[in-house]
Structure 1
Amino acid sequence: MNKYSNILMGFGLSAALVCTTGCRDDFADINSSPSQVTVGDPSYLFAMAAMDFEPFGYTFWFYDAPMLTSWSQMAVPTGSFTESSALTTVTGGVSYVNTLKLAHEITYLRSNMSEEDAAKHAVTAACVDVLTTYLALSSSDINGDIQFTEAGNALHGGTLTPAYDRIADLYTLWLDQLNSAITTFTTATDQIFTNEQDIVYKGDRAKWAKMANSLKLRIAARLISQDKARALAIASEVANASCGYIDSLDDAMLFNKSVVNSSSDDYIYHWSNGFMDGMASNQRIVDFMLENKDPRVRFLYRKNDWNSKIIQEFYDQGKAIPSYIEENVEYTTSGGKKTFVKWKGMGEPWVRYYGLPVEYNAKNNSAVYGEWFDYENRYKITDENGQSAKSYRPYSMYQHQMVIGRYYNFTLPTVPGGPVITRNDSRPWYGLYLGGSEVNLYLAEFKLLGANLPGTAESYFTQGVKLSVQEYDKVAGLNQIAYYGTTYDYDPNEVSIELKSGEIEAMLASDDYQLTGSASEQLEKVYLQQLINFTMYPYDQFVTARRSGLPKFNSQFISRENYASIPVTNFPRRFQTGVPNEMSQLYQIQRDAYAAQGYTITGAGDANTSILNSERTWQDQGAPQWGEGPKN
Structure 2
Amino acid sequence: MNTKHKIGIGVLAMATFASACTKDFAEHNTDPEVAPTLPPEYMITTSQKAMVDRDFEWFYDNYQYLMRWMQFTVAYPDGNTAGMYGPQNVNGYYNAFYTTIGRNLVEIEKMINEMPEENRGVYRNLVAIAKVHKVFAAFRVTDVNGSIPYSEALSARENANFTPVYDNQEKLFAQFDAELKAAVADLLQPAEGQVTYKGYDIFYDGDAAKWVKAANVLRLKIAMRLIKRNPEKVAEVAAEVLASPAGLFTSNADEWKFVSGGGDKFANGGNWNAQGSASRAGKNLIDFLQDNADPRLALFFKKNEMTQANFNRLKNGGAFPPTAVYNPDQYVGVPSSPDAVNEPATRALFGTKTYGITENGQSVSVNVDTLSQFQNRLFDLNADGGAAGRYTQPMLTYAEMCFMLSELAVRGIVAENAQVWYENGIKASIAAYDAMGAAANIVDYAAVAPEAVTAYLAQPEIAFTGTQEEQLEKIGVQNFLNHFKSPWEAWGSWKRTGYPKAGGILPLEAVRIDGAVPEIPRRWELPVPHTSNMSNYTNAISEMQAGGEYGSPNQLTGRVWWDKK
Q: TM-score, normalised by structure 2?
A: 0.87
* Residue of structure 1 equivalent to 2:86: 87
* Aligned pairs for 1:381-400 within 5 A: 389-400=365-376
1:390 Cα deviation after fit: 4.2
Q: Distance in 2 between matches of 1:575 and 1:223?
A: 20
Q: Distance in 2 between matches of 1:196 and 1:150?
A: 31
* Aligned pairs for 1:32-431 within 5 A: 39-54=37-52, 57-65=54-62, 66-78=64-76, 79-80=78-79, 83-94=82-93, 95-97=96-98, 98-189=100-191, 190-193=193-196, 195-258=198-261, 266=266, 269=268, 272-275=271-274, 277-279=276-278, 280-320=280-320, 336=322, 351-358=329-336, 361-366=339-344, 368-377=345-354, 379=355, 389-406=365-382, 409-410=383-384, 423-425=385-387, 427-431=389-393
Alpha carbons of 1:217 and 1:62: their partners in 2 closer, same or farther (altered >3 Å)? same
* Aligned pairs for 1:600-619 within 5 A: 611-613=555-557, 615-619=558-562
What SS does structure 2 have at the residue aligned with 1:172? helix
1:339 Cα deviation after fit: 8.1
Q: Distance in 1 between matches of 2:372 and 2:441?
A: 18
Matched, 1:441 2:384: no
* Residue of structure 1 equivalent to 2:457: 508
1:173 Cα deviation after fit: 1.2
1:154 Cα deviation after fit: 3.2
The answer to whether the 8 Å contact 1:47/1:199 transfers is yes
Structure 1 range deviating more: 458-467 or 240-249:
240-249
The answer to whether the 8 Å contact 1:175/1:216 transfers is yes
The answer to whether the 8 Å contact 1:294/1:507 transfers is yes
Q: Distance in 2 between matches of 1:22 and 1:83?
A: 41
What SS does structure 2 have at the residue aligned with 1:432? strand
1:529 Cα deviation after fit: 0.6
* Residue of structure 1 equivalent to 2:22: none
Deviations 1:421-461 (A, max 9, x none): xx2345442322222111101111111112123x3110000
1:85 Cα deviation after fit: 4.7
1:463 Cα deviation after fit: 0.2
The answer to whether the 8 Å contact 2:44/2:200 transfers is yes
Alpha carbons of 1:139 and 1:393: their partners in 2 closer, same or farther (altered >3 Å)? farther
1:372 Cα deviation after fit: 1.0
What SS does structure 2 have at the residue aligned with 1:10? helix
The answer to whether the 8 Å contact 2:91/2:524 transfers is no
Q: Distance in 1 between matches of 2:195 and 2:364?
A: 62
Alpha carbons of 1:557 and 1:22: their partners in 2 closer, same or farther (altered >3 Å)? closer
* Residue of structure 1 equivalent to 2:541: 594
Match among 476, 483, 486 for residue 437 of structure 2:
476
The aligned amino acid for 2:469 is S
The answer to whether the 8 Å contact 1:101/1:152 transfers is yes
The answer to whether the 8 Å contact 1:300/1:536 transfers is no
Alpha carbons of 1:564 and 1:399: their partners in 2 closer, same or farther (altered >3 Å)? closer
What SS does structure 2 have at the residue aligned with 1:505? helix
1:477 Cα deviation after fit: 0.9
1:315 Cα deviation after fit: 1.7
Alpha carbons of 1:600 and 1:38: their partners in 2 closer, same or farther (altered >3 Å)? closer
1:144 Cα deviation after fit: 0.9
Q: Distance in 1 between matches of 2:10 and 2:245?
A: 39
* Aligned pairs for 1:565-604 within 5 A: 570-577=519-526, 580=528, 584-598=531-545
What SS does structure 1 have at the residue aligned with 2:408? helix
The answer to whether the 8 Å contact 1:315/1:339 transfers is no
Matched, 1:550 2:502: no
The answer to whether the 8 Å contact 2:353/2:370 transfers is no
Q: TM-score, normalised by structure 1?
A: 0.78
What SS does structure 1 have at the residue aligned with 2:258? strand
What SS does structure 1 have at the residue aligned with 2:393? strand
The aligned amino acid for 1:372 is L
The answer to whether the 8 Å contact 2:75/2:276 transfers is no
The answer to whether the 8 Å contact 1:281/1:301 transfers is yes
The aligned amino acid for 1:214 is V
Match among 419, 424, 437 for residue 458 of structure 1:
419
Alpha carbons of 1:370 and 1:273: their partners in 2 closer, same or farther (altered >3 Å)? same
The answer to whether the 8 Å contact 2:339/2:515 transfers is no
What SS does structure 2 have at the residue aligned with 1:431? strand
Alpha carbons of 1:572 and 1:382: their partners in 2 closer, same or farther (altered >3 Å)? farther
Structure 1 range deviating more: 79-88 or 548-557:
79-88
Q: Distance in 1 between matches of 2:97 and 2:462?
A: 36
* Aligned pairs for 1:531-550 within 5 A: 531-550=480-499
1:600 Cα deviation after fit: 5.5
- Structure 1 residues without counterparts, runs of 5 or longer: 26-36, 322-335, 345-350, 411-422, 485-496, 604-610, 623-632
Q: Distance in 2 between matches of 1:556 and 1:256?
A: 33
The answer to whether the 8 Å contact 1:99/1:128 transfers is no
1:192 Cα deviation after fit: 0.9
**Aligned-residue CA RMSD (Å):** 3.1
The aligned amino acid for 1:118 is R
The answer to whether the 8 Å contact 1:276/1:398 transfers is no
1:318 Cα deviation after fit: 2.3
Alpha carbons of 1:209 and 1:220: their partners in 2 closer, same or farther (altered >3 Å)? same
Alpha carbons of 1:39 and 1:204: their partners in 2 closer, same or farther (altered >3 Å)? same
- Structure 2 residues without counterparts, runs of 5 or longer: 19-27
The aligned amino acid for 1:179 is K
The aligned amino acid for 1:43 is E
Q: Distance in 2 between matches of 1:24 and 1:621?
A: 39
1:136 Cα deviation after fit: 1.6
1:8 Cα deviation after fit: 1.8
1:617 Cα deviation after fit: 0.5
Structure 1 range deviating more: 467-476 or 425-434:
425-434
Deviations 1:532-581 (A, max 9, x none): 11122111111111122222232244344375967666332212346x47
What SS does structure 2 have at the residue aligned with 1:179? helix
1:389 Cα deviation after fit: 4.1
The aligned amino acid for 1:88 is P
The aligned amino acid for 1:570 is E
The aligned amino acid for 1:230 is K
